[in-house]
Amino acid sequence: MKFNRYTLEDCHQATGIVLIIDVLRAFSTAAYAFSRGAKEIRLVRSVDEALKLKSQLVNAKAMGEVGGLPPEGFDFGNSPTRILEQDLTGITIIQRTGAGTQGAVRAVNAGVMLATSFVVAGATIEYVLKLKPTEISFVITGGLSNDEDVACADYLEKQFTGQAVEAQDFVKRVHASRDALQHMEEHPQFPYADLDYCSHIDNFDFAMPIERKDSFLIMQAVRP
């Protein structure tokens, strides 16, 4: 099996099966939103697009960040800790973040696309293996110098190829990563608990495929 790695700068070149990785925190928060009952998550590029779409849809909420903080008009930020406080039953979430959703928007040539993080790793692997892949591309949305997303790609690659892994080693990499530093001072939008929630490997039994429908990118929770 062949593996490719891309960043936000070149992910438009990725084809076939493409896994968009954002551990801290977009696609971890998305998984927790599904666990709280969210119907679907629509991924967008900009704040204005998110707010416009929210105004057009019934029972919709905007979730995400600019610079880590929720923009004006957004209902939720980008924190698993905070999203777990919500009842999202039947809600359509519109998500905009600086890394994760940008990767999905920019991966315009992907054939099959899934949002990925540690919390849905096992289900993502199971979903993809059913497609009998010969090649898989990872989009490291945080950049190659931001180790939590690289760690997730390393973990997935080892799992896909049947190599032994020590889960705690990958958990440590999340906690030691550059973006984890923002959570050390316990800012309301960067709770320390997010690090534990985001590094809880296989916390959920669903994958998060993203489909293009009528120019929208729609993510759903699907059990493989």
Residue-wise pLDDT for 63-113, tens only, equals 999 999 999 999 999 999 999 999 999 999 999 999 999 999 999 999 999
Reported as a single tens digit per residue, the pLDDT across 119-145 is 999 999 999 999 999 999 999 999 998
Whether 95 contacts 43, CB under 8 Å: yes
**How far apart, in whole angstroms, are the C-alpha atoms of residue 65 and residue 96?**
6
pLDDT at 184 over 80: no
Is residue 222 in a domain?
A: no
Task: Count up the domains in the chain and report the number.
Answer: 1
Is residue 218 in a domain?
A: no
The CATH number covering residue 191 comes to 3.90.1560.10
Range of the domain at 149: 2-206
Long-range contacts of 145-151 (CB under 8 A, 24+ apart): 145/178, 146/177, 146/178, 146/179, 147/173, 147/174, 147/176, 147/177, 147/178, 148/23, 148/24, 148/173, 148/174, 148/177, 148/179, 148/180, 148/198, 149/21, 149/22, 149/23, 149/24, 151/23, 151/177
Is residue 14 in a domain?
A: yes
What is the pTM for the complete model shown? 0.96
Reported as a single tens digit per residue, the pLDDT across 42-75 is 999 999 999 999 999 999 999 999 999 999 999 9
Is residue 224 in a domain?
A: no
Furthest CA-CA distance within the chain: 48
Is residue 45 in a domain?
A: yes
Q: What is the DSSP string of 128-177?
A: HHTT--SEEEEEETT-TT-HHHHHHHHHHHHHHTT----HHHHHHHHHTS
Residue type, 141: T
Is residue 214 in a domain?
A: no
Reported as a single tens digit per residue, the pLDDT across 6-50 is 999 999 999 999 999 999 999 999 999 999 999 999 999 999 999
Is residue 67 in a domain?
A: yes
Is residue 212 in a domain?
A: no
